[in-house]
């Protein structure tokens, strides 16, 4: 389907890879581009320690991220194993703590234990646009899934997080959650969860309820 070459160098002398006719990062100065990308997204990472990066590309943006936010946990996701191999080879020591995940479908992403663990706490999902040209639609769907901004994603995140299940069980919360989450079929979801859950943690319901109320006030 496509031809990948990995014997190119940028004007600044750094090794690059190409997908078809397009480089997966800047052909002039990939490090400068990577630093600018991190700077652009730094607000996403305030108070967070976990991030999923969509698009591995040539890996310079991962280096820049690790440099700017020391100790950050990264899951780097791509659909091309050769890109991942390139990054691991070129930046072996620097990216040793990065979890790489190669997926062809949303289902694969939902099966990964590292992803499960990450969505259990505050996290961000960042897209590196030059690197997602290999299969843009997959990356857009992955983004919606991992951010829980799609129906499937909401299902996935709620399954990973038992503390959130109650969010949709408390009748009083339903209306609030509905307007907050902009998801149309919460009623069906509610019914499904109601049938599946026998133990309801009322303290947790109360906490979730108050949190939702606070959030609602923040956007009212």
Partner 1 sequence: MKILVISLLRLGDIFMASPAIEGLRKKYPNAEIDLLVNSPYHNLSGKFFGVTRIIPFERKILQDGLVKPERAQFESFDKVKTFIQMLTNNNYSLVVNLTQNKLSGYLTEAIEATEKLGLTLNEMNQPRYGSMWFKYLNDVVGAKVKSIFHFTDINYFGLGLDKAGQRFNFNETDDGLAEVDLFLKNNNVNGRVKIVIQPLTSDAKKNLPIRQWLEAIEQIRIFDSKAEIILLGAPNEAAVINQMQFELKEKGITVHAAILSIAGAFSLLKKCNQLLTGDTSIKHLAAATDIAVFELSLGSSDLRKTGAYSKNSLILKSKVGCSPCSHNSECIKLSHECSALLTGELVGLAAIKHLHGDWAGLKILADEYADEFEFYRTDISKLGFWHADNILNQKSESSLSAFLDLAAWKFLIDKLHLLALAPYGFEGSLIREYLKTYWADSDDTLLKLSLGQIESAVLDSEHQLNKILASLTKSLRSANTRPVLDFIENEYHSDICTLEKKLQLGNYFSEKLSLDDNLGLFKMRRLQSSLSEVFNHQQIKLKLVCSIKNQILNMNKMEEL
Residues near partner 1, by CB under 8 A:
43-44, 46-48, 119, 121-125, 143, 146-149, 153-154, 157, 161, 164, 172, 180-181, 205-207, 209-215, 217-219
- Cβ proximity to partner 1: between 9 and 206 the closer is 206
Q: Closest CB to partner 1 among 20 and 122?
A: 122
Contact status, residue 54 vs residue 139, Cβ threshold 8 Å: yes
Structure tokens at 213: 């109320």
Residues 168 and 183: beta-carbon distance below 8 Å? no
Comparison of 50 and 90: residue with beta carbon closer to partner 1: 50
The 8-class DSSP code of residue 25 comes to: S
Nearest distance in Å: CB 195, partner 1: 23
Nearest residue (CB) to partner 1, 42 versus 192 = 42
Helices 151-160 and 186-196: crossing angle in degrees, nearest 10, is 30
In the complex, least distance from residue 91 CB atom to partner 1, rounded to whole angstroms = 26
Closest among 24, 22, 26 to 11, alpha carbons compared: 26
Give the Cα-Cα-Cα angle 108, 135, 113 (nearest 5 degrees).
Answer: 20
Q: Rounded CA gap, 62 and 80, in Å? A: 16
The end-to-end CA distance of the chain, in Å, is: 49
Which is closer to partner 1, CB of 39 or CB of 104? 39
């Amino acid at each position: 389907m496509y031809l990948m070459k990995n014997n190119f160098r940028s004007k600044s002398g750094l090794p690059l890879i190409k997908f078809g006719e397009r480089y997966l990062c800047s052909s002039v100065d990939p490090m400068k581009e990577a630093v600018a990308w991190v700077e652009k997204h730094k607000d996403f990472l305030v108070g967070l320690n976990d991030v999923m990066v969509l698009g591995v590309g040539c890996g310079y943006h991962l280096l820049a991220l690790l440099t700017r936010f020391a100790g950050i946990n990264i899951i780097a996701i791509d659909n091309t194993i050769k890109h991942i191999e390139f990054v691991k080879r070129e930046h072996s020591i620097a990216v040793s703590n990065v979890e790489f995940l190669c997926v062809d479908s949303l289902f694969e992403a939902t099966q990964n234990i590292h992803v499960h663990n990450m969505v259990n706490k505050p996290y961000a999902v960042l897209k590196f646009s030059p690197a997602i040209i290999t299969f843009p639609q997959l990356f857009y769907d992955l983004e919606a899934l991992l951010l829980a901004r799609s129906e499937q994603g909401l299902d996935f995140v709620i399954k990973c997080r038992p503390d959130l299940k109650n969010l949709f069980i408390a009748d009083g919360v339903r209306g609030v959650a509905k307007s907050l989450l902009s998801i149309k079929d919460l009623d069906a979801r509610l019914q499904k969860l109601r049938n599946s859950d026998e133990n309801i943690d009322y303290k947790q319901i109360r906490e979730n309820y108050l949190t939702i109320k606070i959030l609602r006030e923040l956007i009212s």
